Amino acid sequence: MNAKVLLVVLGFAALAYARPGSFESFESFESGEGKYDFNWAVRDESSENDFGHQEARDGENTQGSYYVRLPDGRLQTVKYLVDGDSGYVAEVNYDGEARFPDSYESNESK
């Protein structure tokens, strides 16, 4: 039985070697100049969710920003730029002051 399996495998290898042009090669290609623009946002007062994202691309140049309301009450905003092969460059800002709920009474006071 093992000899039959070995013969089949060797047969396929021989076919591949004998006809190297029979396997197609697929070339990867980059799509044409990309161009888009989008914007979305979520704001729900009851859950205190507040976040969004906008981005625009024209060819190799992409710019955008996104924001999120953090659990401490601050708004974090990230503005970014991607210019071809120069990479991702981001600027992060925080608006507001961090607020934390009053600490719970310690068990020692009970």
| pLDDT tens-digit map of 22-75 | 555 556 555 567 899 999 999 999 988 899 999 999 988 999 999 999 999 999
Residues 93-109, mean pLDDT to the nearest whole number: 74
Domain that holds residue 70: 28-95
Within a domain: residue 57?
yes
Residue 15 lies inside a defined structural domain of this protein = no
* Nearest alpha carbon to residue 95 among 56, 67, 53: 67
Domain membership flag for residue 23: no
Model confidence, pTM = 0.60
Residue 11 forms part of a structural domain: no
Continuous segment of H or E residues that includes residue 2: helix 2-18
User: Residue 83 CA to chain centroid, in angstroms?
Assistant: 17
Say if 110 falls within a structural domain: no
Number of structural domains, the chain? 1
Residue 64 maps to a domain: yes
Q: How confident is the model at residue 18 (pLDDT cuts 50, 70, 90)?
A: low
Decide which of 109 and 98 is more confident.
98
Q: Is residue 8 part of a domain?
A: no
Q: Which amino acid is at 51?
A: F
